[in-house]
Structure 1
Amino acid sequence: MYTYDRIGNSGSGASGDRSSAAMDQPLFGETRRRVKIINIVLAAVTAVFIGITLVLALLSSLFIKDKCRRIGNVGNSKKYCVYPLDIVFCGIIILLLVPQIIVAYWYRRGELEPKFRTLIYYNAVVTVLLCIVGILYFMQVGYQ
């Protein structure tokens, strides 16, 4: 009986078999544990910042005194208002997040080369920086 390895080469029973240790080796020579930990930490940090940014965009008028008066009352009450630019900012962050998730998913499935890992890290850092700018904007840091 013939067997086929990963790239389609045929072989007989003894010569075509591979040990389980050889099959567990990373495809591109990277250390799996370290890369997994970095991916999980970076994904968690990005998710936390995005969550905080989205919540602050919708609820910042509750935390900032007189924000509705300064920006114009868009909501129904004078205590709570939603500024349209805040919603647009959240939409932009979500639009940047969608391709980030797709590329990270492709990378984790092994469909992309390791050189794309740096692109994933770069996009995650840029997204976190954009969220920091959004948080500072929603909390009106620097306004008097």
Structure 2
Amino acid sequence: AMEFGPRTLGARSILASPATEMMRENLNTYIKHREDFRPFSAAVPVEQAGDFFEPSQLTDFLQGVTRVREGKQHLMPAAIFGERLVRVQGVSRNTNPSFWKLLVRFGEMTGLPVLLNTSFNLFGEPVVSTPREAVRGFYCSGIDCLAIGNFLVKK
């Protein structure tokens, strides 16, 4: 699926567990090659957003910032910036069923249906828009796995 606009919403994204601070460092150092202070967004099924984040106008389009619920910060340190702040993408089963299923399954496996979501582009390059660009980005970075449609490539 192709996406339009300034944010990647699951189709052309690098996804990672937010459970350790080290993940933010790894993404910034080995994949994005950017400053440590720049935050990543978090994606969560809309039905479970209230379990982890304070009420807000969640959208599919990463348009706002909310806070992680008090006592839940330890679950997702790589997603948090400032005072428990996080950019959250609420993923709907109706509008993005594949990404929604992935988040639900990740939650079943880990107890946390939240993934870091950042654009799939390497430093100084545009976001990938073809499978060829995705494969090139995969092999030129520290990314472990690449999913394109029903295919999974591992290093």
Does the pair score TM above 0.5? no
Q: Flag the structure with higher strand content.
A: 2
Greater RCO, 1 or 2 (C-alpha within 8 Å, sep 6+): 2
| Larger radius of gyration between Structure 1 and Structure 2 | 1
TM-score range, shorter chain: under 0.3
Q: Flag the structure with higher helix content.
A: 1
Please give the TM-score of this superposition, normalised by the length of structure 2: 0.22
